[in-house]
Each structure stands twice: as C-alpha cells, then as structure tokens.
C-alpha cells in the first residue's frame, strides 16, 4: 500500500480554504499512484475550533465539506479529521472524529477516545469520548486509526484509565495511523517522538503520524509529521514549520520511501524557537488579514529581538520601528537602536515624548503637588509612548507588537496600558536569559543585533541611572526561581530547599501572584514553552495562596 502524508497549514473556520487544500493534496497523491492520503486531526475546521463548535451551522458546514471531499476519493482513499454529531441522547453533542473516505463517500468514522483537558487543551468541554473500538479494512490491510491523544496513554503513570491501542491490537492491525494537532513547545518534539516510538515498539507495527503546521492565534504547530518502523526507530520526518507532503510504501509490512532521510538533523533549541516565533508572527498577521507591524524601539534587548523577528516574518518593508526618547534616555540607546534599524533595513521614526510627558505632568501638578516623584511619573512616560504608537497604528493600519518578556510579565515589571500594549506578545514566553541566548544565536554568523545592546545592563530608563537590578535579582537567579514555580509547579518550600535564599523566594512568588490581574490584560502570547501565560495557566486573580 502506498500512503501519502499531507502536512498542511489549516485556518480555523475557513472551510473553503481548508477544503481546497485537502482536495489539491488528494489530487497530488492520486497522480503519484498513492492508495491512501492522510490529513491531520480536525483538518476540515482547523485546530483548535474552541467554542465555534457550539454553533450547529459550524458543524453542518464541516460535515458538508467532508461529503464534498469524499467525492474526490474515487480511485484513492483519504482520512480527514473533523467534528461529528453524537447520535446518542446521553453525553456531549459531538465527537472529535476521523473520517475514512473511499469510493466517493464516507465509509467509516472513528472517534477520539482520550480527550485532553490539561494545559491549553479543553476538548472534553465539547466532545464525547469514544467507547466503541474498531479498525479500518482497506486493500486487504487492517488499519488501527487513532486520533492524537489516543496514543499518549503509554507512560508508566498513565493519565487515563484506558489505552485505545489495547483494544485495537486485538484485531491484529497491520499498521497504525495517528492524526494529530500537537502544538510546538521547546520539549514537545522529544516527548512526541518518545510516545510514538514507544507505541511502534510495543505493538511491533509501522506507525504513520500526521500533524498540523502553521499557527492559530497563540498556538504554533511545527509539523514534523513522521513515520516509525515496527522496531520503534524513526524512518522519516517531514519538514518542520512548513507544509510538506511525502509518500511511503508498505511492502509485506516493511517501509520504503521515495525520499529517505538517512541522517535526521539535530534539533537546535534556538533555531527551532526562532523559526517558531517567526511563523507565529507571520500566521497571526496573515490569518487576521494584517500586513504591517509597528513597535517601540528602546535600545534594549527585548525590543531589538522583536524587531528582528518581525522583519523576518513580515519583510523589512512592513515593519516600522519608532524611537521614543525621553529626558532619561541615554545617547547610546538611541545610537544602538539606529544601528539595528540600519542592519535590518527597516523604516523608523524618532519622536520625543518630552512634550507629551511635560503636558501630562503640568495637568497633574495641582493633584501631585507635595508628593515624591515615583512610579506614577515613570508610568506616565510608558503610557505616553503607548499613546503615540497606538495613534500611528490607528492612522496607518499598523498592528502594535508587544515586547515584554516572560520574566517581566511574571513579576509585573511592566506598565499596564503602556509597554504592555500590543496586539500580540511575541516573546512573552521567553525568559530574559533565553532572550539573551536567542540573540546570541541570531548573531552567531554576523552582528545583526548590535553587541552594545547585548552587553549593557538592562534598564527601563524611566529615571536617572535606572537598572533592572535595582528592584530585581540577577536574571539568571530570577529565571531559575520563576521556572521552578511556573513550569515545574514547585512551591515555596521546594524552591528554597533547592538552595535559593528564603526571603528572595517569598518576594518573587508574591510578585508573580500579585500580578495575575495584569497578565489577564496582556496581549495573546506566542506559546513556545510547556507552560505559557494565557489559556494554559489558569490561576485565579483574587486567589489567596500565602507566601
């Protein structure tokens, strides 16, 4: 049997585009004499559809598209993912389904059994879990068709009480197909391969895996569809971060391919993070119909990194950097920013905020009289910058990119309605130490981000001689504490036991918890870690968890 894996960039809710792409891939596979072409989980409607699934018209349109696609499967079979109605009166109204199409119609429908409800996933909100296990018979072959999480219950400490493959293996299948929607994170690819390898090895069957590629709002899909031999070794991977389609042949249970990759390239952490963030920006803009980005360029490392990533994603002609100096801005920050603008070849403006700042100070003078200059005055500067950036955004159709990093978001080191403004948080899932490391990676062959930006002490430059270290510990220490708390969900005592100073730990954890209200108002954050701020971390704003 000749099988084609189609790794496609879908657009949630865009049925016309998704259907057309699927039909084109079917025709391509058909022209290359394939017997079966496989698409990803919920490929018809895109992933995640979230509460769009509550609209009956949405489900009906999805099912109509499946019928249309089936009409193109007369000399070839296809597997596509989409929602389907649950005919039973009990349980949820929908299933997360895989449709097997051949001879011009829907021949069989397989439903997802294990519905994730952790991190960014909330599938049990809409879908009923499958309890009826069956295989697909096609061209004298028995196919164990599974949907994403259905293969993930193979750990020593399984999350679910049932493993669908334990039921399916009773039918003596010849191979496994898994259609998935597995978002990118720094650790996900390794985990994914471990799970797929374990399944192929345990059941001694070839395994075909198809993933989404592209991005939907904050979620980035890396692709990386792949095939495993029955001995559990990876046979071939499709490209990461781009659409791809490849054909494989099963002959007497053995795999062969038209384009065998003998040496799988090492997955460099920051190469993948850079590609993920560039793809995330590009897809966010493309799928919302935006073309141009604006951002404030401060002379610091965060805005420099976001400017670089935006220029890679959107093209240098579509990025406007605005320098917004104040009385506290250093000369070298302005010069460093201009060097970056020159290196990237992007447009820029220099607009002093001094007149705006003075005007607001004068307006507030009767009310602030007799008080000390402090955070209120610092925040006025940040909000003045946001007013000017948003005015340019509104006037000329730019989308403002936010430049806050994860360390700052965690401890509230940012101004609400000031530097926290923006339509998209590009590096809000990168700790400050990771920001430095990513910039070093970008500069590995040539100086793109000026070295002066990378070597000077971080500062918001909102008061004379200000440095981040005035109010925060060294970022290496801060980020280790934050990682333990946020990613590893370790509590105060566990972190202190790891060797950190008790009062510092208490102060940092208190800052994280006290600033949850700010993060709820931050832009959507491109997710590249296993625990990003946003839908994947649900902490109550007004909760009481003493530290």
Respond yes or no: is residue 73 known to be catalytic.
Answer: no
Alpha-carbon distance 314 to 473, whole Å?
A: 36
Tell me phi and psi for residue 132, to 5 degrees.
Answer: -115, 110
**Residues 154-163: b if buried by 16+ CB within 10 A, e if exposed:** beeeeeeeeb
48 upstream amide cis, omega within 30 of 0:
yes
CA angle 176, 180, 183 (to 5 degrees): 140
Query: In whole angstroms, what is the distance from residue 179 CA to residue 221 CA?
Result: 13
State the catalytic residue, choosing from 21, 34, 41, 45.
41
Active site residue 236: no
Among residues 21, 112, 282, 292, which one is catalytic?
A: 112
DSSP run (H or E) holding 137: strand 136-138
Catalytic-role residue among 148, 226, 421, 439 = 148
> How far lies 536's CA from each of 96, 337, 456, 530, in Å?
21, 34, 34, 9
Question: Which one, of 317, 302, 390, lies nearest residue 347 by Cα?
Answer: 317
Contact between 40 and 10 under an 8 Å Cβ cutoff? The reply is: yes
Q: Which H or E run contains 178?
A: strand 175-179
Q: What is the DSSP string of 281-343?
A: HHHHHHHHT--EEEEE--SSHHHHHHHHHHHHHH-GGGEEEEE---TT--HHHHHHHHHHHHH
421 is catalytic: no
CB 39 within 8 A of CB 6: yes
Closest CA to 426 of 408, 401, 409, 407: 401
Q: How far is CA 299 from the centre of its chain?
A: 27
| Gap between the Cα atoms of 309 and 281, Å rounded | 8
Host H or E run for residue 18:
helix 15-31
The angle formed by the CA atoms of residues 66, 72 and 78, to the nearest 5 degrees, is 65
The whole-angstrom separation of Cα 503 and Cα 370 is: 34
Could you list the active site residues?
41, 112, 148
């Amino acid at each position: 049997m000749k099988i084609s894996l189609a790794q496609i960039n879908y657009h949630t809710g865009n049925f016309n585009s998704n259907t057309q792409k699927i039909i084109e891939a079917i025709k391509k596979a058909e022209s290359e004499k394939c017997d079966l072409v496989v698409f990803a989980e919920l490929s018809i409607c895109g992933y995640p559809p979230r509460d769009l699934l509550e609209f009956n018209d949405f489900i009906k349109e999805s099912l109509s598209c499946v019928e249309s696609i089936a009409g193109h499967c007369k000399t070839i079979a296809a597997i596509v993912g989409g929602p389907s109605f649950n005919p039973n009166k009990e349980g949820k109204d929908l299933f997360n389904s895989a449709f097997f199409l051949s001879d011009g119609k829907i021949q069989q429908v397989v439903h997802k059994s294990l519905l994730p409800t952790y991190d960014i996933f909330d599938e049990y909100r809409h879908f009923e879990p499958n309890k009826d296990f069956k295989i697909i018979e096609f061209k004298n072959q028995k196919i164990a068709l599974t949907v994403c999480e259905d293969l993930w219950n193979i750990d020593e400490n399984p999350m679910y009480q049932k493993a669908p493959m334990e039921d399916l293996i009773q039918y003596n299948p010849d191979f496994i197909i898994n259609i998935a929607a597995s978002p990118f994170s720094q650790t996900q690819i390794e985990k994914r391969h471990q799970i797929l390898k374990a399944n192929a090895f345990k059941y001694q069957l070839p395994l075909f895996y198809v993933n989404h590629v592209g991005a939907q709002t904050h979620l980035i899909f890396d692709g990386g569809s792949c095939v495993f031999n029955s001995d559990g070794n990876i046979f071939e991977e499709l490209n990461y971060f781009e659409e791809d389609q490849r054909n494989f042949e099963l002959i007497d249970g053995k795999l062969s391919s038209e384009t065998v990759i003998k040496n799988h390239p090492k997955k460099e952490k920051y190469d993948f993070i850079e590609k993920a963030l560039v793809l995330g920006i590009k897809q966010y803009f493309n799928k919302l119909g935006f073309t141009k980005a604006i951002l404030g360029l401060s002379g610091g490392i965060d805005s420099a990194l976001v400017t670089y990533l935006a220029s890679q994603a959107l093209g240098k002609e579509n990025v406007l950097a605005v320098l917004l100096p104040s009385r506290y801005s250093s000369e070298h920050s302005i010069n460093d920013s201009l060097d970056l603008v020159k290196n990237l070849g992007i447009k820029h403006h220099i607009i002093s905020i001094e007149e705006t700042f003075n005007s607001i100070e004068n307006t507030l003078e009767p009310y602030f009289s007799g008080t000390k200059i402090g955070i209120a005055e610092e925040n006025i500067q940040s909000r003045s910058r946001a007013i000017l950036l948003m005015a340019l955004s509104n006037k000329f159709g730019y989308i403002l990119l936010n430049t806050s990093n994860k360390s700052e978001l965690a401890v509230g080191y940012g101004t609400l309605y000031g530097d926290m403004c923006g339509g998209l948080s590009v590096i809000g899932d990168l700790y400050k130490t990771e920001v430095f490391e990513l910039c070093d990676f970008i500069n590995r062959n040539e100086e793109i981000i000026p070295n002066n930006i990378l070597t000077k002490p971080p500062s918001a430059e909102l008061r004379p001689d200000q440095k981040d270290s005035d109010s925060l510990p060294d970022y290496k220490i801060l980020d280790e504490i934050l990682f333990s708390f946020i990613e590893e969900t370790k509590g105060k005592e566990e972190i202190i036991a790891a060797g950190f100073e008790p009062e510092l730990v208490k102060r940092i954890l208190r800052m994280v918890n006290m600033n949850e209200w700010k993060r709820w108002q931050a832009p959507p954050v491109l997710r590249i870690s296993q625990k990003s701020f946003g839908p994947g971390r649900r902490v109550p704003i007004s909760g009481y968890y003493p530290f």
